[in-house]
Structure 1
Amino acid sequence: MIRPASPADAEEVVPLIIQAMGKLAHKLTNVDEEKVLIEIFTYFFQLKGNQYSYENTLVYEEEGKVLGSLNAYDGGKLPELRKPFLNYVAECYQTSNLNQGTETETGEFYLDSISVNPTAQGKGIGKQLIISGIDWAEKLGHHTVGLLVENNNPDAQRLYKKMNFVIQNEKQFMGGLYHHMVFKIK
Structure 2
Amino acid sequence: MIRQAIPTDAPIIAQLIMLAMGEPLAAKFANNPDPTVAEALFARFAALKGNQYSYENILLYEDGGAVCGMIIAYDGGKLDELRSPFLNYTRSQLDFTGTPEDETGPGEFYIDCLAVFPQYQGKGIAKSLIKALFERATSLGHRTVGLLVSKGNEKARMLYEGLGFEIVGEQGLLGGVHYHLQRKV
Aligned-partner Cα distance in 2 for 1:149–1:87: 26
Q: CA deviation at 1:12?
A: 1.6
Q: CA deviation at 1:11?
A: 2.0
Q: Residue 91 of structure 2 aligns with which residue?
A: 90
Give, as a single letter, the amino acid of the residue that structure 2 aligns with 1:87: N
Q: CA deviation at 1:28?
A: 2.3
Give, as a single letter, the amino acid of the residue that structure 2 aligns with 1:172: G
Aligned-partner Cα distance in 2 for 1:127–1:56: 18
Q: CA deviation at 1:10?
A: 1.4
List structure 1 runs of 4+ shifted beyond 4 angstroms: none
Count matched residues.
184
User: Per-residue CA shift, 1:135-160, capped at 9, x if unaligned?
Assistant: 11000000000000011001111111
Q: Residue 13 of structure 2 aligns with which residue?
A: 13
Q: CA deviation at 1:164?
A: 0.4
Q: CA deviation at 1:31?
A: 2.1
User: Per-residue CA shift, 1:82-102, capped at 9, x if unaligned?
Assistant: 1011110111111122x2111
TM-score under structure 2 length normalisation: 0.97
Unmatched segments (≥5 aa) in structure 1: none
1:1-186 alignment to 2 at 5 Å? 1-22=1-22, 23-97=24-98, 99-185=99-185
Task: Tell me if the contact between 2:62 and 2:69 (Cα under 8 Å) persists in the aligned partners.
Answer: yes
Q: Alignment partner of 1:50: what SS?
A: coil
Give, as a single letter, the amino acid of the residue that structure 2 aligns with 1:101: E
TM-score under structure 1 length normalisation: 0.96
Give, as a single letter, the amino acid of the residue that structure 2 aligns with 1:91: S
Aligned-partner Cα distance in 2 for 1:112–1:59: 14
Q: CA deviation at 1:25?
A: 1.5
Task: Tell me if the contact between 2:57 and 2:73 (Cα under 8 Å) persists in the aligned partners.
Answer: yes
Aligned-partner Cα distance in 1 for 2:70–2:100: 24
Give the fraction of aligned pairs with identical amino acids, expressed as a percent.
48
